[in-house]
Amino acid sequence: MAARKHNIDRSRESYDAATSALKRALGSRVRTDEESLFRASFDGSKLCYFPDAVIAVRAERDIGTVLALANKHGVPVTVRGGGTSLTGSGSPIRGGWVLDVSALDSIVIYEREGMAEVGVGAKISAIQKAAEDAGWYYPPDPSSKDHSTIGGNIACNAGGMHGAKYGVTRDFVLALTGFLPTGERVKWGGRFKKFACGYNLRDLWIGSEGTLGVVTSAVLKLVPKPEAKWTLVAAFAEEAVALGAVQALIGRRLLPSILEFLDRHSVQCAERATGRSLFPEQRGKPLLLVEIDGTAGEVAAKQQDVLAWAAEHAVASAEARTSEEAEKLWEVRRKCSGAMFELGDAKLNEDVVVPLFSQVAFAGFLDELQRSSRLPIATFGHAGDGNFHVNIMYHRDDAAESKRAEKVVQRLMRKVVALGGTITGEHGIGLAKTPFLRLDRSEAEVRAMLAIKHALDPRGIMNPGKIFEVFEVWKHRPIKIRLPWDHR
């Protein structure tokens, strides 16, 4: 366990009196031992700030009790699902209480309706398995699917590899139940497909990063499980050619279920970390991974189109011969994020979006950024929806490298906005993107968001310090810890 003295944000208040009242109300569900506080003090960003207590929620009503007391005493509350957020949105920067909802993990599939009703602690891979066992399909699939929860996915509006065809978490949420920051229980939507009954606060909660309330359960839309899938890996002469080919593929009216890009650095890191090769004959080349799905007839027809596209644009391509072979490719792709740590022990991990028409220009910019910064920058991501993970790697103890990493991220953010894109496509703002919110959103837009925040959370207890207050992430040292999804 990392020594506590390195981790406390010493400027914050202590909430001892309120925590004693909480213990009287919820007994052993309130944890204040060092180990529990440490485990809840950071997320996937490894930015570490100790809370005063962790509440291991066992039932919905616990949350009402916690919020009533938090409002009374003005205690910050940070909700925690799987703790995989990469932006620090789950780090309790102001101390207070962490509400661990991971035990609310029920999953019920309504087979005859094509819906799932899930507790927020349910892991994405468990929801997908339950749906598939019933002949249905839940497409959003963040690479963290074995660790992240549906509550966290809703709070961050998580995406994943299937976004190009199916969309993101928001597109599958029919209803949400939970608590307003004031402790009142509410439900937006129901076990039905549409509603037009007043303001839609369901959609406002999605992507609000735990700043507007606590979600406790969700009704999700499922789609029929695709009958057939076909996977192709294609290598390109260089990154700009690969990204130009993305536009060409979509221009052919083909909508792959997955269309993933890996630049040459990402390919090398992922292959070394997993000991597996994505395309053994084409080492050192950027790749696109393409999956098409549908009925057997649809897949067979589209397959010919995709092969013609590959012959025109790629230097080589290969089909996955079996579903196991395809799964191995996806497994290597899913490990990209953790694999980057061979290039440095700290990472500024961005998830910028650029419009399709700007992708080739973006590839040229990344090349130049790499050369001028003299830092390893590896980019991979969901090319089909223009969402790229740009990983700026550096060494946390090297002041010059840290400074260069800061400059790189500033240039990157300015560039994606200039290219008509946005600073985050699926991870959200959290702490890490706060310096750039106002680059992307106008003052009027930020004011409108803050008006909503103040109306719903008058005491400002929900996840304070996130989204709106500038936090210069490069000045804060992530802790050294190996998480289950790190590969080195």
Residues lying near ligand FAD in the complex (CB under 6 A): 43-44, 78-86, 89-90, 101, 120, 142-144, 148-149, 151-153, 155-156, 158-160, 209-210, 214-215, 337-338, 426-427, 463, 485
Q: Which residue, 265 or 285, is less far from ligand FAD as judged by CB?
A: 265
> Which helix (H) or strand (E) segment is 63 a member of?
helix 60-73
Query: How far is CA 409 from its chain centroid?
Result: 18
Residue nearest to ligand FAD (CB): 152
223 token code pair: 């789609």
Q: Which residue, 151 or 384, is less far from ligand FAD as judged by CB?
A: 151
How far apart are alpha carbons 367 and 240 in whole angstroms?
Answer: 9
CB 21 within 8 A of CB 69: yes
How far apart are alpha carbons 102 and 279 in whole angstroms?
Answer: 38
- Amino acid in the structure at residue 177: T
Least distance to ligand FAD, CB of residue 70, Å: 14
CB 131 within 8 A of CB 109: yes
Least distance to ligand FAD, CB of residue 179, Å: 9
Least distance to ligand FAD, CB of residue 66, Å: 12
Q: Which residue, 151 or 226, is less far from ligand FAD as judged by CB?
A: 151
How far apart are alpha carbons 140 and 153 in whole angstroms?
Answer: 9
Q: Which residue, 82 or 464, is less far from ligand FAD as judged by CB?
A: 82
Least distance to ligand FAD, CB of residue 84, Å: 3
Alpha helix positions (H), 119-263: 124-133, 150-156, 163-166, 201-205, 239-251
Count Cα atoms within 13 angstroms, Cβ side, for 157.
Answer: 18
Q: Which residue, 204 or 361, is less far from ligand FAD as judged by CB?
A: 204
Q: Which residue, 19 or 387, is less far from ligand FAD as judged by CB?
A: 387
Least distance to ligand FAD, CB of residue 75, Å: 15
Residue 14: count of CB within 10 angstroms of its CB: 10
Least distance to ligand FAD, CB of residue 424, Å: 10
Q: Collapsing DSSP states into helix, strand and coil, what is residue 224?
A: strand
How far apart are alpha carbons 56 and 189 in whole angstroms?
Answer: 27
Q: Among 390, 281, 378, 275, which Cα is nearest to 332's? A: 275
Phi and psi of 78, rounded to 5°?
Answer: -115, 125
393 token code pair: 């790697």
Residue keyed to tokens 């909508």: 255
Least distance to ligand FAD, CB of residue 77, Å: 9
Least distance to ligand FAD, CB of residue 446, Å: 18
Q: Which residue, 90 or 114, is less far from ligand FAD as judged by CB?
A: 90
Which residues lie below 8 Å from residue 482, measured CB to CB, with a gap of 6+?
Answer: none
Residue 460: count of CB within 10 angstroms of its CB: 15
How far apart are alpha carbons 132 and 134 in whole angstroms?
Answer: 5
How far apart are alpha carbons 423 and 417 in whole angstroms?
Answer: 7
Least distance to ligand FAD, CB of residue 300, Å: 29
Which residues lie below 8 Å from residue 200, measured CB to CB, with a gap of 6+?
Answer: 188
Least distance to ligand FAD, CB of residue 32, Å: 20
Q: Which residue, 294 or 465, is less far from ligand FAD as judged by CB?
A: 465
